Amino acid sequence: MPAIQVTNLTKTFRTKHKAAGLGASVRSLFRPEYRNVEAVRGLSFEMESGELLGFIGPNGAGKSTTIKILTGILFPSGGDAKVLGYIPWKQRQKLAYHIGTVFGQRPQLWYHLPAIDTLTLFGKIYEMEDRETRSRIAELAEAFEITDLLETPVRKLSLGQRMRCEVAASLLHKPELLLLDEPSIGLDVVAKQHIRDALRDMAKKENVGVLLTSHDAGDLEALCKRVIIINHGQIVYEDKVSTLKRSFLTSKLVEVRYAEQISTSFHIAGTETLKVAKERYGVKLRFDARTTPVEKVMAALSAAGTLLDITVSDPPLEEVIAAIYKTAEKSDADEGRNRG
Amino acid sequence: MKKYLAVFKINLLNSLAYPAEMVTRSAMILLFMWIFFQLWRITFAAAGSDSINGLSLHDTMWYLLLAETLELGRPRLARVISEQVKDGSIAYLLNKPYNFLVYQLSSGLGESLPRMGMLFVLGGALVWAMAGPPPDLVNWPLALVALAGAWLLHFCVNALIGLAAFVAEEVAPFEWIYQKFTFVLGGMLIPLDFYPAWLQTIAKSLPFAYMMYGPARLFVLPDMQLFAQIIIGQLLWLAIFGGLLVLVFSRGMRRLAINGG
């Protein structure tokens, strides 16, 4: 049985609309105007149990709304969804025993109290035995390296430390599925890595499925096997992360360092020269491997001078995702023009 | 049940996290009680009598102390729920395996009890010094039972106003109106006994009297007949508001729109 089954899910919010100015404010008192905002439009997908699925999209794409529907907090306007066999909005409390959630922008730990107090409270809420709660806290404290932080009031923790405690709290009751909404938002590189490593290890060890929304392609690369990209409440891409990289990562970035100064008019046909640095004799260029053979570029670079160092890399995943968004938006616009 | 006890406990701990702040905040009751004493001392002197409609200055002050304790110490649930909807933190409260309304009840009780205790002790010390010792201890059990009923009624009405945030988001105006009704028709500023008979009849047929006047009046002048009337009234209004609360919550969930996605 899939952990998540979503079929034609829709969610429309009705929002009050008011033009600027005093007159418009008075008018809206008597004749309020409402607009319907379609946050999720006919979303369908499945997620297997134990799968690590990335749910990526720009602001307002409908990611958080979908997660909130899947946890049972929001009622959908249409469509069906089952999470671990439960209909979330009808069986919210039963489902809650089996899922863990982290909403990265909202704290669930009690701000003025040490994290251990919230964890102990959650143990009671999930109806765990005291002994079981204590041993689970010790296990999570080790996995997330928070043993020394547990007795410090949450307000005194750094964001990275707090987020480690937040994620640990969501795993306390050994959920089968974790729904993480932007768990790495605002964190520095080290803190992100810390959380990703601990999450990946825990998910593997306990076979927990993870549905992760993020703006950070690093989260996706580090944690997820499959990715769904949504925009305007609809799926625009769905495949393995490795396929995404293969299909869209066709351009290569090359950074070279020479032993001596090379010509400032340096150029290789079929490549775009990004930088020729005089100080350390460095060159940075980009090319599309489909049209310009790698071999040809390497030969030309070697012929230009004595090579000291060379690095070939893929462009960041953010660029790839941005390209997919643009493609989807362009096809939306074309579709709109054709309809018009 | 254990989970709700744990919720109560953590709220209690949270309220006690800053004891100095709680004492300072509660100290405002000293100012209120001092002003009330000056007002009523002059009023009683002007009336030229030791009692007005059966209440002495001493009774009036202890009545007002209990009413103020309840008003200042009850949880501001409407504001809390409205904030939770606005900042989106309600998402964490709704996705846990408990009854949301019972959670709010346990949470409110944990927050309210230490505050009410502190208000009563501080205000009581001043009232004792100004107007004399507290009512006889035998008066207290009846008043405490009615106080519990009054607190629950406040909880239900406040939670109802809070749930309006699921749709309206800003609930401060509703809360303001409700508070003014309890001030005037609940007998918080003036004991209902001082009102003309027709206004007393109106006030006593509304729920506000059971939220403030009932326990405060029983505290100073206990009476089994009045006690029975108040408890029956409280149970009736609790059934109405409690039922409405459950209904509005289940309907409200369908219309909930959480900020931030």
**pLDDT bracket for residue B60 (50, 70, 90):** very high
Give the residue from chain B lying closest to A125, CA to CA: B3
Cβ contact A112–B96 (<8 Å) = no
Residue A215 near chain B (CB below 8 Å): no
**pLDDT bracket for residue A160 (50, 70, 90):** confident
Count CB neighbours of A89 within 10 A: 19
Distance CA A326, CA A315 (A): 16
Going by C-beta distance under 8 Å and a sequence separation of 6 or more, which residues neighbour residue B51?
Answer: B59
Which pLDDT score, from 0 to 100, does residue B259 have?
Answer: 55
First to last CA, chain B: 33
Q: Would strands A33-47 and A307-313 be described as parallel, antiparallel, or unpaired?
A: unpaired
Among residues A126, A39, A32, the alpha carbon closest in space to that of A74 is found at: A39
What are the helix (H) ranges across A126-158?
A: 130-143
Distance CA A186, CA A191 (A): 10
A278-325 residue pLDDT tens:
777 888 888 888 788 888 988 988 888 888 888 887 766 667 777 777
Which residue among B9, B95, B99 sits closest to A71, beta carbon to beta carbon? Answer: B95
Q: Once rounded to an integer, what is the mean pLDDT over residues B61-88? A: 88
Q: Once rounded to an integer, what is the mean pLDDT over residues B87-96? A: 81
B128-171 residue pLDDT tens:
999 999 998 888 999 999 999 999 999 999 999 988 887 776 78
Residue A73 near chain B (CB below 8 Å): yes
Question: Do the Cβ atoms of A149 and A162 come closer than 8 Å?
Answer: no
**pLDDT bracket for residue A193 (50, 70, 90):** confident
Q: Once rounded to an integer, what is the mean pLDDT over residues B109-128? A: 94
**pLDDT bracket for residue B61 (50, 70, 90):** very high
3-state secondary structure of A274: strand
B187-229 residue pLDDT tens:
888 999 899 999 999 998 899 999 999 999 999 988 899 999 9
B26-47 residue pLDDT tens:
899 999 999 999 999 999 999 8
Shortest Cα–Cα distance, B163 to chain A (Å)? 14
Q: Bigger pLDDT: B59 or B91?
A: B59
Which residue among B17, B96, B254 sits closest to A125, beta carbon to beta carbon? Answer: B96
Q: Which residues pair with A285 in a beta bridge?
A: A254, A273
Q: Bigger pLDDT: A305 or A175?
A: A175
Could you list the beta-strand ranges (E) of chain A.
4-17, 33-47, 52-56, 78-83, 99-103, 177-181, 209-214, 226-231, 234-240, 251-258, 271-277, 282-288, 307-313
Best residue in B95, B98, B104 to probe A by mutation, most A CBs within 10 Å? Answer: B95
Find the length of chain A.
Answer: 340
Which residue among A71, A96, A110 sits closest to B14, beta carbon to beta carbon? Answer: A110
Binding-face residues of B in 8-47 toward A, CB within 8 A? 9-10, 13-14, 17-18
Q: Bigger pLDDT: B59 or B168?
A: B59
Which pLDDT score, from 0 to 100, does residue B170 have?
Answer: 76
Count CB neighbours of B46 within 10 A: 8
Which amino acid is it at A289?
A
Which amino acid is it at B97?
P
Which pLDDT score, from 0 to 100, does residue A209 have?
Answer: 92
A121-142 residue pLDDT tens:
999 999 999 999 999 999 999 9
Q: Bigger pLDDT: A14 or A133?
A: A133
Q: Would you say residue A187 has pLDDT above 60?
A: yes
- For chain A, the average pLDDT equals 85
Among residues A37, A62, A39, the alpha carbon closest in space to that of A228 is found at: A62
Q: Once rounded to an integer, what is the mean pLDDT over residues B101-117? A: 92
A34-49 residue pLDDT tens:
788 888 899 999 999 8
Q: Would strands A226-231 and A52-56 be described as parallel, antiparallel, or unpaired?
A: parallel
**pLDDT bracket for residue A175 (50, 70, 90):** very high
Which residue among A60, A96, A124 sits closest to B95, beta carbon to beta carbon? Answer: A96
> Which residues does chain A have within 8 Å of residue B13's beta carbon, measured at their own beta carbons?
113, 117
- For chain B, the average pLDDT equals 89
Distance CA A234, CA B130 (A): 70
> Which residues does chain B have within 8 Å of residue A110's beta carbon, measured at their own beta carbons?
10, 14
Q: Would you say residue A8 has pLDDT above 60?
A: yes
Which pLDDT score, from 0 to 100, does residue A268 have?
Answer: 87
Q: Would you say residue B126 has pLDDT above 80?
A: yes
First to last CA, chain A: 43
Q: What is the dihedral of CA A144, A149, A153, A156, to 10 degrees?
A: -90
3-state secondary structure of B196: coil
Going by C-beta distance under 8 Å and a sequence separation of 6 or more, which residues neighbour residue B14?
Answer: A110, A112, A113, B110, B111
